[in-house]
Copies of this chain bind each other. A is one copy, B any other.
Amino acid sequence: MDVSLLFFTFMLAIFLGLELISKVPSKLHTPLMSGSNAISGITIVGALLAAGRGGSVFLTVLGTVAVALAAINVVGGYWVTDRMLAMFRYGPKKDEPQP
């Protein structure tokens, strides 16, 4: 049951991912890539478990390295995306639509 449910979730997320993005102005290509790259740093959740869960020192070190790598990805990714987006001039602020 569990695993099949996971596959359901997986399938739905894939479909959602495919639907979510349809047309992106070219100036947003890089920020979008960078922003979604930051999301893929979610693997940090696994890394945290690996680093904190104990086990051999080797394992812990492995986990810690994973945490560090993932943290770079997450922190750097969001930050750099934010910097890129800060450079844009927006159009009319007032009708900034809610998502």
A1-45 vs B, Cβ < 8 Å mask (1 yes, 0 no): 110011011001101100110000000000000000000000000
The copy count of this chain in the complex is 2
Which range contains the number of A residues in contact with the other chain? 10 to 19
- B5 contacts A16, C-beta separation under 8 Å: no
Minimum CB–CB distance for A99 against chain B, Å: 11
Q: Which residues of B contact A5 (CB under 8 A)?
A: 2, 5-6, 9
A-B contact pairs, 17 of them (CB 8 A): A1-B2, A2-B2, A2-B5, A5-B5, A5-B6, A5-B9, A8-B9, A9-B9, A9-B12, A12-B12, A12-B13, A12-B16, A15-B16, A16-B16, A16-B19, A19-B19, A19-B20
